[in-house]
Amino acid sequence: MRGTRQTTLGKPLPETLALEGRGEAPDAEHEDAESRMAKPEPESPAAAERLMEEVCDRTNLEIAWQRVRRNKGGPGMDGMTIDDAKGYLREHWPIVRSQLIEGTYRPQPVKRVNLPKPDGGVRKLGVPCVVDRLIQQALLQVLQPRWDPTFSEHSYGFRPGRSAHQAVAQAQRYVAEGYSFVVDIDLEKFFDRVQHDRLMARVAARLSDKRVLKLIRAFLKAGVMEDGLVRPVDEGTPQGGPLSPLLSNVVLDELDKELTRRGHRFCRYGDDCNIYVRSRRAGERIMASVGRFLTVKLRLKVNEAKSAVARPEERKFLGFSLSNDGSERRIASQALSRFKQRVRDLTRRTKGVSLPKLVAELAPYLIGWRGYFGFCQTPRVLSNLDAWIRRRLRSYLWRQWQNGRNRFKQLRRRGVPTFAAAVAAGSPTGFWRMSSHPALHMALRNHAFDSIGLPRLHRSAYA
């Protein structure tokens, strides 16, 4: 076994690093290593023919394995977990590597997983098996540094050093410059409708290693297992694999180049594309012409029900809306509704756990949400949400105290005067109305929630 590991990865795969790379852009700690593996300068044809050897390079594979482990993805159709895959790779990697080098590797079908969308419907994910995820991630790490410099400056999704916040900030600058109408284009089931032949033609124009071309097509054609049955696929790049976001950028780079050629001001993040214009009439004209380009040239379908020409504050872009003069970034109403529903689910009064434990479960969601939506420019909204969350928790605790005798005791223990505690404890008012009662506020001041680790959404509130 030890000899096998030496001939495959050279040394044991690191135990302490753990994330599955589902197409994320390389993070800072690995950027230098990855740039050494694959430089963005155009390679010579002779070098391009050895791309598969770079994919199978020991260092590249170790970084890919670290990413696969860190993402903690579930098993694919073979049922193999990440821990199972480690033992499998120790024994079988020489065979897998030989198949990759010879161009005979055949990936397994992906497992279909349906996730509900926030605005209705389902998002169809395809979960590759762990070994295929490792190979896709290793392939991504070689191809992305070569291809990314060729993509448009207006493309922000799934790219190193670029983010949704940058896309929203650029959109805000367009609006502030007077481009106060947005052409919001929604692509219907984009990942399910990508034409394989057209995509492979674009990929073939970027590389010449036929083994890599064959491998990418094999991933596209691997099929999908759904309800216990495997069916072939003729189009689409299943969401869920590390390689899919890069391939989507290859497809939509043609749209970026066309919009740039026409001189439009636009921002694209994945399949979300907004074009900014000065008038509604110009927007309607652009909507029609770009729609024809997407349909005829790229063979994609525009969702007319979700696409529109409108004022920026009437539309959402990556969870944000913009004021019509571009002076303010706001959290979109749909995002606020989803946030409140999630908090309600996490703090439902029948949960039956202690308040510190409830806060410990709630905190990671609040920190993650704040990390993204804290980019808004409406601090009052964040402060109001903080107050609403504390009120939810007061209501939760009031119900947990159950009866008047215990409520009186708990209020007195927290420093509420006897008369005020007695009045509150004897009140027949419902839980939610009682959560704003002065006695309950006196017993559970804001700092009490800070002391048990409740994060605040409005950061300056700590000052």
pLDDT of 77: 86
Within 187-332, strands assigned E span 224-226, 229-231, 265-269, 272-277, 308-310, 320-322, 329-331
pLDDT of 192: 81
Tokens 């506020």 sit at which residue?
A: 441
* Pairing between β-strand 110-116 and β-strand 122-127 as defined by DSSP bridges: antiparallel
Beta bridge partners, 186, equal 272
Under DSSP, is residue 299 helix (H, G, I), strand (E, B) or coil?
coil
pLDDT of 105: 94
DSSP 319: T
pLDDT of 26: 43
pLDDT of 99: 94
The CA distance from 22 to 113, in Å, is 15
pLDDT of 49: 66
pLDDT of 7: 37
Amino acid (one-letter) located at 34: E
The CA distance from 114 to 220, in Å, is 19
pLDDT of 199: 92
pLDDT of 21: 34
Answer for the pair 351, 358: CB distance below 8 angstroms, yes or no: yes
What is the mean pLDDT for each group of 10 consecutive residues in the chain (463 residues)? 38 36 40 40 50 94 93 85 89 93 92 75 82 95 95 95 96 96 92 88 92 94 81 78 93 96 95 95 96 93 92 95 95 95 92 92 96 95 96 94 93 94 92 93 93 89 45
The CA distance from 35 to 37, in Å, is 5
Nearest to 44 by CA among 204, 205, 208, 211: 208
| Residue 299 φ/ψ region, left for φ over 0, alpha for ψ in the -120 to 50 degree band, beta for the rest | left
pLDDT of 9: 40
